[in-house]
Amino acid sequence: MSYSFYTHSTAIKDMDSNKGELELLPQIRTRNRNISNIDPVNMLSSIDTGSFEQGVGSNPGPWASNLLLDCAKAIMEKEMGKVQQLLWMLNELASPYGDCEQRVAAYFLQALFCKMMETGPSCHKTLCAAVERNCCFDSMRKMILKFQEASPWTTFGHVAANSAILEAFDGENCLHIVDMSTTLCTQWPMLLESLATRNDGTPNLRLTTVILRGMSNCNSVMKEIGQRMEKFARLMGVPFEFSVVYKEEDEELDLTRIELRPDEVLAVNCVYSLQRLKHKDSLLSALRNMNPKIVTVVEEEVDLESGDFYERFCECHRFFSLCFVSLEESFGRTSNERLMLEREMGRSLVNILACPDNCEHREKSSQWAVRFDGAGFEPWPFSDDAVDDVRALLKRYKEGWGLNTVNSHALFLTWKGQAAVWASAWKPK
């Protein structure tokens, strides 16, 4: 969640301020009825509707999944008549304000329609611009904090990464964290508290935040965040420096712009950020050249790089359906924060499914493990204390969240048994 989609650096001010995001949906009804004269009765005879008919009755079933998967397969096989029929059916049943099935259908429908009409890049640009126009630090901060209260999707990674970083910093006095994340420094108050109570004295901490994608008022937002961080560090009694490095939209990330000091111990923290970078191996090589003591990584457990369109769609549907269901059980139906998070997922879906040059390149933990090994890193195992910290965190949330520790190189946050997010730590070989 990618916002990743779940902590995208922009937010909307209220539930109604961004209705334009879904105004493409009525166009499906108009265009499809103009393209072909569809008979809803005959339409059903050409589609496998067994579980669909069960789903629209008194006992809701996975009707959205069946229609969406059929539609994606028809798009790949260029069965345009069937595609139009399925899109029309989905548009009649979907709603971004309905139950979970209707919401999944609505946002996937938008992405599939853009895929069929080849309007993905322009649609994604329009959706992002709509959010930029309504960017507000207060609503953005409120959304992130509400989400962290309701779901461990981001706090899981924060606790796991902080535990590993604190272990790496044990006994060191001059610390430097390079923070390549999308969570707007919400990770660091917990770490500052831990440093302030350290038995061997309070160290100096320097935090360099790397902004990987910009927003219209990025400078003012980061200035506000920096001031809040400095104020909190003073309250904790931790000597603290804060700086920001910006990556321009059309340039590669240049890590040589980050100031490194010989007397400092370096940690690099990557939370929901690596998936947005194209040249992963070159980035990891650059990280290795910085000689960090530890690199912490938190990403979502999904592979959207492998297979043909239908295989990628199935994996995308599996993962994002998990995200929608977890939100359904964490927020009320009318929650403004839930709507904001779902709209962020909607933008990601358009980008992933309908944009040939999409900017999200998500891979699973096993794929990243191969990349880190090839770049000259080896796993930094999570200690028993770190695992206990994560378990204690999950007890604060609703039932359904779990922790999987069977993998040697990562911890996995699970939702009802399905891996959702993973955290790992690495050190130079």
Segment 255-314, tens digit of pLDDT: 889 999 999 999 999 999 888 777 889 999 999 999 999 999 999 999 998 889 999 999
pLDDT tens track for 20-62: 444 444 444 434 434 333 332 233 333 343 334 344 433 345 7
Burial of 248 (0-12, 13-18, 19+ CB in 10 A): exposed
What are the structural domain ranges in the chain? 5-137+304-354, 151-302+362-428
pLDDT at 217: 64
Options 3.10.620.30, 3.40.228.10, 3.40.50.720, 3.40.50.150; CATH of 151-302+362-428: 3.40.50.150
Q: What torsion do the CA atoms of 210, 214, 219, 221 make, to the nearest 10 degrees?
A: -90
What are the angstrom distances between the C-alpha of 423 and each of 9, 64, 132, 178, 272? 21, 31, 30, 17, 10
pLDDT reported for residue 219: 78
Residues whose CB is less than 8 angstroms from the CB of residue 386 and which lie 6 or more positions away in sequence, other chains included: 160, 163, 164, 167, 411
Report, as ranges of residue numbers, the positions in the chain whose pLDDT lies below 70. Answer: 1-61, 134-135, 213-217, 248-251
The pLDDT value recorded for residue 24 is 44
- How far is it, in rounded angstroms, from Cα 80 to Cα 162? 50
C-alpha–C-alpha distance, residues 375 and 369, integer Å: 10
Residue-level pLDDT at 156: 97
* Predicted local confidence at residue 36, as pLDDT: 36
| Per-residue pLDDT at 202 | 92
The amino acid sitting at 36 is S
CA-wise closest residue to 130 among 37, 259, 287, 23:
23
